[in-house]
Structure 1
Amino acid sequence: MKNVKILLASLAGSIIEWYDFYLYGTATGLVFTTLFFPSTNPAISILIAFATFGAGYAARPIGSLIFGHMGDRVGRKASLMLTLIGMGGSSFLIGLLPTYAQVGLLAPTLLVILRLIQGIALGGEWGGAVLLATESATKGVRGFFGSIPQLGVPIGLVLGTFSFTLISSLTTEAQFMAWGWRLPFLFSAVLIVLAIWIRSGIEETPEFKRKKDNGELAKLPIVQVFKYNKKDIFRIIGLKIGDGFFNVFLMSFILVYATTYIGYTRDVALFALTISCATMIVTIPIVGYLSDFIGRKKIYIGGLISMLLLAIPYFVLIPINSTYFFTLQVVLLGIVWAAIFATQGTFFSELFPANVRYTGLSFGYQIAAAIVGFGPMLWTSLATEYGASPYLFGTLMIAGLLLSLLLAVFSPDTRRITQYEEHVEKVHEHEQMVDVPEKVAMTSTKS
């Protein structure tokens, strides 16, 4: 029961954070280009709108430093409570913002500020949610536990895109643009209260508590992590770059690419995104479970190779008809990328010791996120100049994937070589066994 509570707490906040974050990504292509960044040239509106989308990614390393420091000094739980408030509060306020037609430049200015707050909060949320799960796991199930907070990405995006799809179907185009788009943002207030209630009932992780009790916390985690684990930070950045660019395209820019440059309707693009994310909900925990038996590294390499092979065929086939579009979205995002993402939290966290783990894990991951977050700006410029060129877009994706694949090959197999403290896991495992008399009896019999 204790494990269920911990996993639910790590997942609940992650769902809310990603619901809010991808809500903005969906609204960028559908709403903000018109209401907050109007221009006589639609391409310029899209470019400026995606610049603010990228700003949220750029702010994430700042959040990783702020909340990583807090998480390594004060505790994972305290840090995670604040990230929820920052993310949910900014999303709620976006739903109340006046438009450019009402207040002029003040509207996009406020939007960018709130987007930056979103990015800062998310920069601290991801790493904390992963550690809440993995540092509470018993030995042998860490990969599965680490995959559970990753479910927040597809669930949050499904909720976000579903809310937009539902509101869009219940309103006219004029009503949707006037007030309908605001409702999903305002709904964040309800979700955030629920997530805070769930997280308030959990305890600190065993590894952090041991470090704190023994006086082994790092005074300046960012200094210590760069002194002893600098190579691992750069390793994470490189490992994330390849699949990160593809992920941002498949989950955010695809709405603009499919509607503006290929000619699909908004409903078709949203449906393709929704079914691929729904597939991820099934894929992620299965792969997380398997990673405890065959290793994160093998799965990671297999996923990157699959993405390499499918990169150009994806861009060649999706303009042909919606069947190809739906199928390839499901395969690439729902299965292949989901397999990679399912292992990332555990894989990356196993590179760092507990006293700097929050900072190291978050900072490396969020630096990569900041880089790939500006992908939509690049793709908008390329599509405006060259159209939906499959070989141009596919080649760009392949370049990033090759870098990640090279680093993955030379990375340690963290299932066998890990910075997690085995004796802490054994203590935690013993506590669980004490809570379950049947297991104690079985252990005594075996002894």
Structure 2
Amino acid sequence: MKKGKVLLASLSGSVIEWYDFYLYGTATALVFSTLFFPSHDPAISILIAFATFGAGYAARPIGSIIFGHIGDRVGRKASLMMTLIGMGGSSFLIGLLPTYAQVGVLAPALLVILRLIQGVSLGGEWGGAVLLATESAGKGLRGLFGSIPQLGVPIGLVLGTFSFTVISAFTTEAQFMAWGWRIPFLFSAVLIVLAIWIRSTIEETPEFQKKKESGDIAKIPVADLFRNNKKDLFRIIGLKLGDGFFNVFLMSFILVYATTYVGYTRDQALLALTLSCATMIITIPIVGYLSDFIGRKNIYIAGLVAMVALAIPYFLMIPVGNGWFLTMQIILLGVIWASIFSTQGTFFSELFPANVRYTGLSLGYQVAAAIVGFGPMLWTTMADHYGAAPYVFGGFMIGGLLLSLCLSIFSPDTRKVTRYEEPVESEETDSLAAPAAPSPEKQLNY
């Protein structure tokens, strides 16, 4: 199976899934709080709107169990085709929804239902996309391959925010609120058809195919996971919480924080977010490749330490001026968090054997995502009471980061000790491979 086609299939679906998911986050701050959750108090409207945003995160663990079961029983490819349909269909329908002014409470109810479908679908997409890449990687390239589907996050968000920026530039405020915001959601249908076509041309991953042929398939993957691998499941949850809270702030709530509580315009906030995500597109594959030389754990620890050190300065510098806002956003999100994120797919997946890998990787990651997804509700309340208080917000972030840092220090170096089988060899990848590490053990022994 051609490695380039596998990576394209992994990336294309990931881009579209995250485009749809973060499209909702951007619209929550700019549109939904007004059109679907009107209130005499803007803070209440924002709080309720972000509750639906958090509901999408809460639904993701459900999706991880459903699609993890399919992925570990039937195959990675079958699961990934289903997640694309669920995500794309719900996003398209959001673009057709009537507003509160047109149908009353039915509008927010339908919006919440479609958001939940988005969350369930994304709960199965991320883990499957990562495994499609890592289980097909050549020797010494698993870190690089595992970083490619991670590019779906910045590319998807850049596409989403860019589409809103362009439409906003060519419409009046009234036109944007009346119909302009719908266009990015409707456009997702075109992207989904393209991604389904790409994914339909690939084969199952070699490692899963070997397990299926040998009959080494878990009957109930989630039960096997809790019976044999629950320690690593909870390890992943803790490892993800710290950077996860900061990430949701940097990629979503920053639009509300910067515009409502600091005083930047919508266009300034969108520009800062777009530029930092564009920087991630460069950072992620570079760091992913480096992780095959120096290890995922070392990069993870370094990134968390840097985020702890810059947490309070980040909030102190945002109000100083637009230049500082752009700079700090690019450094924190585009470079430091991107470095952490580039390793997560490979790092976390290397903790599990193939027969429960989809379920373990997805469930651990998505439970953490469900927790951090309600961060915007907490931050809205914090900002309402304290304003844009740097030490309040910075202290909150540091607390989560320290938890993840402690867990990362005591985690295994999965570049050397992994539950993956021998990597797939091919002439196509051997010429790119990193120098071989000392003979890795097949099983984690800790």
Q: 2:11 is matched with which residue?
A: 11
**What does the per-residue CA deviation read over 1:240-290, in whole Å, with 9 as the maximum and x for residues that have no partner?**
000000000000000000000000000000000000000000000000000
Q: 2:135 is matched with which residue?
A: 135
Counterpart code for 2:388: A
Q: 1:163 is matched with which residue?
A: 163
Any conservation in 1 of the 2:138–2:430 contact (CA below 8 Å)? no
Q: 1:444 is matched with which residue?
A: none
Q: 1:436 to 1:245 in 2, by over 3 A?
A: closer
Give the superposition deviation at 1:438: 10
Indicate yes or no: 2:364 matched with 1:368: no
Q: Distance in 1 between matches of 2:56 and 2:431?
A: 49
Give the superposition deviation at 1:301: 0.1
Any conservation in 1 of the 2:139–2:429 contact (CA below 8 Å)? no
**What does the per-residue CA deviation read over 1:73-113, in whole Å, with 9 as the maximum and x for residues that have no partner?**
00000000000000000000000000000000000000000
Q: Distance in 2 between matches of 1:207 and 1:227?
A: 22
Q: 1:353 to 1:387 in 2, by over 3 A?
A: same
SS class of match (2:98): coil
Q: Which runs of 5+ in 2 are unaligned?
A: 433-446
Counterpart code for 2:3: N
Q: 2:440 is matched with which residue?
A: none
Indicate yes or no: 2:93 matched with 1:93: yes
Counterpart code for 1:220: I
Give the superposition deviation at 1:117: 0.1
SS class of match (1:240): helix
SS class of match (1:98): coil
Q: Distance in 2 between matches of 1:218 and 1:345?
A: 22
Q: 2:77 is matched with which residue?
A: 77
Give the superposition deviation at 1:197: 0.3
Give the superposition deviation at 1:437: 12
Q: 1:203 is matched with which residue?
A: 203
Q: 1:324 is matched with which residue?
A: 324
Q: 1:415 to 1:14 in 2, by over 3 A?
A: same
Taking the TM superposition and a 5 Å limit, the aligned residue runs for 1:351-430 are: 351-422=351-422, 425=423, 428-429=424-425
**What does the per-residue CA deviation read over 1:212-264, in whole Å, with 9 as the maximum and x for residues that have no partner?**
00000000100101111100000000000000000000000000000000000
Q: Distance in 2 between matches of 1:355 and 1:436?
A: 25
SS class of match (1:39): coil
Q: Give the TM-score, by structure 1 length.
A: 0.96
Q: Which runs of 5+ in 1 are unaligned?
A: 440-447
Instruction: Give RMSD over aligned pairs.
Output: 1.2
SS class of match (2:320): coil
Q: Give the TM-score, by structure 2 length.
A: 0.96
Identity of aligned residues (%): 79
Q: 1:381 to 1:204 in 2, by over 3 A?
A: same
Indicate yes or no: 2:38 matched with 1:38: yes
Q: 1:437 to 1:192 in 2, by over 3 A?
A: closer
| Matched positions, count | 432
Give the superposition deviation at 1:138: 1.3
Q: Distance in 1 between matches of 2:94 and 2:293?
A: 44
Counterpart code for 1:317: M
Q: Distance in 2 between matches of 1:160 and 1:217?
A: 38
Give the superposition deviation at 1:299: 0.1
Q: 1:350 is matched with which residue?
A: 350
Taking the TM superposition and a 5 Å limit, the aligned residue runs for 1:139-154 are: 139-154=139-154
**What does the per-residue CA deviation read over 1:195-220, in whole Å, with 9 as the maximum and x for residues that have no partner?**
00000000000110000000000001
Give the superposition deviation at 1:139: 1.9
Q: Distance in 2 between matches of 1:135 and 1:326?
A: 37
